[in-house]
Chains A and B, each alone.
Chain A
Amino acid sequence: MIRLISILIGLGFALVAVVSFGVGAYTWATEESEGHLPYEHPRDIAYSFDGPIGTWDYAQLQRGYKVYKEVCSACHSLKFVALRNLSELGYSEAQVKAEAATWQVPGIDPNTGEANMRPGEPTDYFPSPYPNAVAAAAANNNAIPPDLSLITKARHDGTNYVASLLTGYQEPSAELLAEHPEAAPGPGLHHNPYFPNLNLAMAPPLTSAGQVTFDDGTESTIPNMARDVAAFLTWTAEPTLVKRKQTGWAVLIFVLFATVLAYFSKQQIWAAAKPNRRKD
């Protein structure tokens, strides 16, 4: 009885699935499906922190920080990162203090209790460029600039994505527009093949070589600035990245050693139990 009911239920579900398939296949064969806009995957750039033994390039992180400070921070917040965290980029305590003081953060006047702006301290977090989301939207053609703290983890292949996007601005090709007329950038939008919609509201932020002066003599080309700020944003997204990999090696070597010991003790214990085990 139970098997009869089961066969009927099974046939029922299978029938509905097959009919769904038939209808779907018919629609698929007869109707033109809307194609995706062809966006490009990020270009692969080599970084010092790639791979299982990668480490930070502190000079690069400091250059990237400077790019963020002088270019990106005009519109993008970095709200999960504290100014004290800059010490992890290789700055001394005094340097972190001096650097923090160059940021204006919201404060309270101790005499009147009114809101004011004061120089930052290491305990402060990176200040937002806008007081709230409405102000951010109003200043940016209704597109709120995303917080950059986690941006490289919040996109597929994030580090390469950021660097590719920053260097990817270009005019749409004639073939693309011929095939996808809807891909033409609307008012206030800019074409970029690495952005999934192909058009984004952010104007090209890195426009000319030398826009940011690098203190360590690295040539300040647009690709260099883009690469270094992408490295900096990888650090902001995961400050523990290098520590994670280093810890991983210690853990893996320990577990490997323990597993080898476990294997030999298992072999020794089982030696008595299977005198001439047949192969199955």
Chain B
Amino acid sequence: MSFPWAKQYTPANGLTKFLDEKLPLPRLVYNAVGAGYPVPRNLSYFWNFGVLAGFFLVLQIVTGVILAMHYAANAQVAFATTEHIMRDVNWGWMMRYAHANGASFFFIVVYIHIFRGLFYSSYKAPREMIWLLGVVIFLLMMATAFMGYVLPWGQMSFWGAKVITGLFGAIPLVGEPIQIWLLGGFAPDNAALNRFFSLHFLLPFVIAGVVILHIWALHIPGSSNPTGVEVKSESDTLPFHPYYTAKDGFGLGVALLFFFALVFFLPNALGHPDNYIQANPLSTPAHIVPEWYFWPFYAILRAFTMDFILPAKLWGVLGMFSAILCWFFLPWLDKSPVRSGHYRPLFRKFFWFGLIPTMAVLFWCGGAPAEEPYVMLSQIATAYYFLHFLVILPIVSQIEKPEPLPYSITEAVLGSDKKAVLGENTEPAV
């Protein structure tokens, strides 16, 4: 699908004509990210982060495949082969630092991408499917990142694997057998390491597949935009190429500056020193913490400290999974007809003064040791987190009186949209 004024692909030479008949790949690219995809003309830089996420997925796959050529998933030698990559493999240190920090950057850009989706309610009709697939991608990313962190077989790898698989032990009755089945043993060892490696290699390609569905679903209604007003006429859009390819190119350059600064000058800043100690089942680290991108959910896991009908541990596990699973229902919980937070005064207040500080507190507490006052803070933040998505959002969308919207994207950008009013959208504004 596309808007009726989308530019049509015309093969220019013999080769592209041949391809267009046999396998219209150039046409697909032209319509997906080329001149054939009309995009709202008013996208801010927040709309760069989808392309950035795609870039970091590709970077992770490329560096990961290279690392896998030199790594051995065996508990006896995994730590040593990781050091072999760091010391003896040509540019191995760069590949590994790029892969480890690439995971962090993948999460940074995806968190900003989700943040944008939440503020501009990009999940609302007609874009529910894009959002649902996005949440699936996020869950797959978390599983992949968790298993990847186990592979170097350092102390945090081992104890992180033990804690996270231990969560399944909280399931009533069948918890312990499930945990043993998942690990292939009573504690993380060769069996677990080997299957984690296998899945860590597989899942990125599953993610790539879901990303294709995510983009496919995006091209049905077209991109959202900061006003939340749907595209009405040709003057509301610009072709993706060259306008947004150029803008994304600049955005990618800026992101890479930050990324390479970290890779080459602070490569271990986001890691944990304990993971440079070889895994030792007999020595528990003082503080077991996951990677930073799991901190908010780790804080929610640890916030439930009281047996209340169910055991505290089960509450924690339910809370942690529900914290993400509730995102699946957002399109049906937030019934406000207005998308953009810019025109929703009450929603905006809860978003900036409720959700954002809550996420900051959860991030902070998730990385802190499990002691007071961090636990108490994370309990308050956890309560607000669930209230925000499951209680406040449905109620606010009912009682809020939105501010007036611009008539069209063109009016929002150019100040007036005479042609749209007169219905004379025959030529592009560019």
Question: Which residues of B sit under 8 angstroms from A23, Cβ to Cβ?
Answer: 305-306
B355-382 toward A: CB 8 Å interface, digit per residue (1/0)? 0000000000000000111011001101
Is the CB of A130 closer than 8 A to any CB of chain B? no
Residue pair B380, A252 in contact (C-beta under 8 Å): no
| Segment at the interface with B among A99-107, A207-215, A217-225, A264-272 | A264-272
Question: Which residues of B sit under 8 angstroms from A21, Cβ to Cβ?
Answer: 376, 379-380, 383
Q: With A21-B379, A255-B256 in contact, is A7–B394 under 8 Å at CB?
A: yes
B181-208 toward A: CB 8 Å interface, digit per residue (1/0)? 0000000000000000000000000000
8 residue pairs of the A-B complex, CB under 8 angstroms, read A7-B395, A10-B326, A16-B308, A18-B380, A20-B308, A153-B268, A265-B246, A280-B226
Question: B interface vs A, CB < 8 Å?
Answer: 41, 80, 83, 86-87, 93-94, 97, 226, 238, 242-243, 246-247, 249-250, 252-254, 256-257, 260-261, 263-265, 267-268, 273-274, 276-278, 286, 303-306, 308, 312, 315, 319, 322, 326, 329, 332-333, 335, 371-373, 375-376, 379-380, 382-384, 386-387, 389-391, 394-395, 412-415, 429-430
Tell me, in angstroms, the Cα distance from A80 to B93 when the chains sit together: 14
Question: Which residues of B sit under 8 angstroms from A28, Cβ to Cβ?
Answer: 372-373, 376
Is the CB of A275 closer than 8 A to any CB of chain B? yes
Picked from B87, B250, B303, the residue with its CB within 8 Å of the CB of A262 is: B250
Q: With A13-B322, A21-B383, A154-B273 in contact, is A258–B332 under 8 Å at CB?
A: no
Tell me, in angstroms, the Cα distance from A240 to B252 when the chains sit together: 27
**Known pairs A25-B376, A255-B260. 12 more at Cβ < 8 A?**
A6-B329, A13-B386, A16-B308, A19-B308, A28-B373, A153-B276, A244-B93, A255-B253, A263-B250, A274-B414, A277-B414, A278-B415
**What is the minimal beta-carbon distance from A168 to any residue of chain B, in angstroms?**
19
Give the interface centre of B226, B246, B415, B429 by most chain A CB atoms within 10 Å.
B246
Question: A interface vs B, CB < 8 Å?
Answer: 2-3, 6-7, 9-11, 13-21, 23-25, 28, 33, 52, 80, 85, 146-147, 149-150, 153-156, 158, 196, 237-240, 244-245, 247-249, 251-252, 255-256, 258-259, 262-263, 265-266, 269-270, 272-278, 280
Question: Which residues of B sit under 8 angstroms from A155, Cβ to Cβ?
Answer: 273
Residue pair B253, A14 in contact (C-beta under 8 Å): no
Residue pair A259, B257 in contact (C-beta under 8 Å): yes
Residue pair A7, B390 in contact (C-beta under 8 Å): yes
**What is the minimal beta-carbon distance from B254 to any residue of chain A, in angstroms?**
6
Residue pair A3, B238 in contact (C-beta under 8 Å): no
Tell me, in angstroms, the Cα distance from A162 to B260 when the chains sit together: 29
Residue pair A9, B322 in contact (C-beta under 8 Å): yes
Residue pair B250, A266 in contact (C-beta under 8 Å): yes
Tell me, in angstroms, the Cα distance from A33 to B369 when the chains sit together: 14
Tell me, in angstroms, the Cα distance from A156 to B268 when the chains sit together: 10
Question: Which residues of B sit under 8 angstroms from A19, Cβ to Cβ?
Answer: 306, 308
Picked from B238, B263, B315, B391, the residue with its CB within 8 Å of the CB of A7 is: B391
Tell me, in angstroms, the Cα distance from A149 to B94 when the chains sit together: 19
Residue pair B265, A262 in contact (C-beta under 8 Å): no
**What is the minimal beta-carbon distance from A20 to any residue of chain B, in angstroms?**
4
**What is the minimal beta-carbon distance from A260 to any residue of chain B, in angstroms?**
8
Question: Which residues of A sit under 8 angstroms from B394, Cβ to Cβ?
Answer: 3, 6-7
Picked from A2, A7, A150, A251, the residue with its CB within 8 Å of the CB of B276 is: A150
Residue pair B319, A3 in contact (C-beta under 8 Å): no
Residue pair B249, A266 in contact (C-beta under 8 Å): yes
Question: Which residues of B sit under 8 angstroms from A14, Cβ to Cβ?
Answer: 382-384, 386-387, 391
Give the interface centre of A7, A10, A149 by most chain B CB atoms within 10 Å.
A10
Which residue of B has the minimal Cβ distance to A239?
B87
Question: Which residues of A sit under 8 angstroms from B413, Cβ to Cβ?
Answer: 274, 277-278
Tell me, in angstroms, the Cα distance from A240 to B89 when the chains sit together: 11
Tell me, in angstroms, the Cα distance from A151 to B286 when the chains sit together: 17
Question: Which residues of A sit under 8 angstroms from B304, Cβ to Cβ?
Answer: 16-17, 20
